[in-house]
């Protein structure tokens, strides 16, 4: 991964906020070039004493470094995901070491869902739905289409990731989904 455009290559992470539930899900495929090297990676995990869900797309080691940094910010600003995310984004953008990290993250707590990038972006999706990674736009489109159905947030995430796996060769059906009641 040598360019910003390649950050969108190799996984699918999706968040949906609906009916008092926020769900974050991701597929389990790890690819290097055109080769699948692992099919059951866990790219979604709980952070901040279980009060935050995070998912990543991009280089795994870089993502775990960012998760560790976000955990430290959450300890510094407990219960303030937005503040912790903004502080992480500032560090990510200005710190020489962090600036080289190539990953994107979706994080969510009971109040807010955010996308964080290495360009300093901390974005809250308008509709409570956001996707990242190579299959992110496919999953995002599916989730938006399903948002007005009776399906709950977790079901929408699972079905949308399944649809993305039909389209994106870098996305598989081995998904991890975490939810929080809002």
Active site members: 11
Contact between 135 and 13 (Cβ < 8 Å): no
* 111 DSSP assignment: S
Distance CA 127, CA 167 (A): 23
Best CA proximity match to 20, nearest among 156, 155, 153: 153
Distance CA 81, CA 84 (A): 5
Owner of token pair 């995901």: 81
Q: What's the token pair of residue 91?
A: 């560090």
The gap from C-alpha 162 to its chain's centroid, in whole angstroms, comes to 16
Distance CA 138, CA 90 (A): 30
**In this structure, are strands 129-133 and 21-26 parallel, antiparallel, or unpaired?**
unpaired
Alpha-carbon Rg of the chain, whole angstroms? 15
């Amino acid at each position: 991964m040598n360019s910003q455009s390649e950050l969108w290559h190799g996984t699918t992470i999706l968040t949906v906020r609906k009916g008092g539930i926020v769900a974050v899900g991701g597929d389990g495929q790890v690819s290097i070039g055109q080769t699948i090297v692992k099919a059951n990676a866990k790219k979604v995990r709980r952070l901040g004493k279980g009060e935050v869900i995070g998912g990543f797309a991009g280089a795994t080691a870089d993502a775990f470094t960012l998760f560790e940094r976000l955990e430290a910010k959450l300890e510094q600003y407990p219960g303030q995901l937005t503040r912790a995310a903004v502080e992480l984004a500032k560090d990510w953008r200005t710190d020489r070491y962090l600036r080289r990290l190539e990953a994107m993250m979706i994080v969510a707590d009971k109040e807010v869902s955010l996308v964080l990038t290495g360009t300093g972006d901390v974005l809250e999706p308008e509709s409570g739905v956001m996707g990242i990674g190579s299959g992110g736009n496919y999953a995002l489109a599916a989730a938006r289409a399903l948002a007005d159905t009776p399906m709950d947030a977790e079901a929408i995430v699972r079905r949308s990731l399944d649809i993305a796996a039909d389209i994106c060769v870098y996305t598989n059906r081995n998904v991890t989904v975490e939810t929080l009641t809002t």
